[in-house]
């Protein structure tokens, strides 16, 4: 196998109210809005990208905020939990921080690491895992009021919730190059090629559970990293040889993407690391302006008129 997937590139989910979504992820969790654009397939809707200060692959959680749509139904065939990594010593501070904002938190332990589980305002399951690799790591996204070392250092892992996981796990290991990393309480963990942010993915099998449905609080898709265009082209060829239905390469301005549905029903994307989020904004001004791709620029006035107002100076909730 010439290439192995390094890990998670980004995760994209569906939210309801845009202002509330922005406030929660920037004000409470301390992530940076590194890009504010629109859904290229539905330009009447924002597309927010939250991540670390530079918007590095492995740190990016993105949202389509669609006000007024129904809540998603949890079930199989989806990413059922998105887990961020923090230093283990930061979890008590995070628990106090979340409790002060009236966010219900449950403590747990998984694969020997402490964990906090909670939900965002749309009911999307989130977790903070105390990752041993995060000790001494470069500072990431820090929420106000969280004692150092409180940084969110990117993704820890994501959970693929499946009715049957055999074929999904075969795809992960045989084709995408993930390595088996252990089992804990019926949950299996797999590790990508590059240690650090976004390296892990878990599978959870519940044969009798119904299929989940998309809506607010749901993950739309999970994207895996490709080193560059050449690596992505190689993945495309390999996936087509397996008989999977894969889209042509899509230009997403900040990366290029291919999409396919894995055997368990989860929508997968493979996205290139380059060119990144500083192609149209400098580092110090990431996320400040509404950015449109060239083919939508002629419609900027009507697009801006249709989008809900967003006050990027109003953040929270905070303790």
Number of domains the chain is built from: 1
The pLDDT tens digits of the residues spanning 271-306 come to 999 999 999 999 999 999 999 999 999 999 999 999
How many angstroms separate the Cα of 65 from the Cα of each of 11, 37, 69, 283?
A: 14, 12, 9, 24
Q: What is the structure's pLDDT at 151?
A: 82
Indicate the pTM of the whole model: 0.94
Is 85 contained in some domain? yes
Is 317 contained in some domain? no
Domain hosting residue 189, numbered range: 8-306
Is 2 contained in some domain? no
How many angstroms separate the Cα of 18 from the Cα of each of 22, 50, 83?
A: 6, 13, 22
pLDDT tier at 319, thresholds 50, 70, 90: very low
Is 318 contained in some domain? no
Mean of pLDDT values over 225-237: 97
Is 112 contained in some domain? yes
Q: What is the structure's pLDDT at 314?
A: 58
Cα separation, 175 vs 46, whole angstroms: 34
For 294, phi and psi rounded to 5 degrees? -55, -35
Is 314 contained in some domain? no
Cα separation, 274 vs 254, whole angstroms: 7
**Cα torsion at 258, 264, 265, 270 (round to 10°)?**
-10
Is 185 contained in some domain? yes
**Tokens matching residue 271:** 């996205």
The domain that holds 14 is classified in CATH as 3.10.180.10
pLDDT tier at 132, thresholds 50, 70, 90: confident
Is 268 contained in some domain? yes
**Cα torsion at 191, 192, 195, 199 (round to 10°)?**
-70
By DSSP bridging, strand 219-226 and strand 179-184 are unpaired
């Amino acid at each position: 196998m010439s290439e192995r997937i390094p890990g998670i590139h980004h995760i994209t989910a569906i939210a309801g109210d845009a202002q509330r979504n922005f406030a929660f992820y920037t004000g409470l969790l301390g992530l940076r809005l590194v890009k504010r654009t629109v859904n290229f397939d539905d330009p009447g809707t924002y597309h927010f990208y939250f991540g670390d200060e530079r918007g590095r692959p492995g740190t990016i959680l993105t949202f389509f905020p669609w006000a007024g749509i129904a809540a998603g139904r949890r079930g199989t065939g989806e990413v059922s939990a998105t887990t961020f990594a923090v230093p283990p010593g930061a979890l008590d501070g995070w628990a106090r921080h979340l409790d002060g904002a009236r966010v219900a938190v449950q403590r747990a332990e998984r694969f020997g690491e402490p964990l906090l589980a909670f939900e965002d305002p749309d009911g999307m399951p989130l977790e903070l895992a105390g990752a041993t690799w995060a000790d001494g790591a470069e500072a990431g996204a820090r929420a106000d009021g969280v004692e150092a070392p409180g940084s969110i250092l990117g993704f820890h892992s994501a959970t693929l919730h499946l009715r049957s996981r055999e074929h999904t796990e075969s795809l992960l290991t045989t084709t995408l190059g993930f390595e088996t990393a252990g089992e804990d309480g019926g949950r299996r963990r797999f590790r990508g090629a590059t240690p650090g942010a976004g390296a892990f993915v878990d599978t959870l099998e519940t044969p009798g559970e119904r299929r989940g449905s998309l809506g607010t609080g749901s993950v739309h898709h999970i994207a895996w990293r490709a080193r560059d265009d050449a690596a992505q082209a190689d993945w495309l060829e390999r996936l087509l040889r397996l008989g999977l239905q894969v889209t042509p390469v899509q230009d997403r301005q900040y990366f290029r993407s291919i999409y396919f549905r894995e055997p368990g029903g989860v929508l997968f994307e493979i996205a290139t690391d380059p060119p990144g989020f500083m192609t149209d904004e400098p580092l110090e001004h990431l996320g400040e302006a509404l950015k449109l791709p060239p083919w939508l620029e002629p419609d900027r006035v009507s697009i801006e008129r249709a989008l809900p107002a967003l006050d990027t100076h109003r953040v929270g909730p905070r303790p």
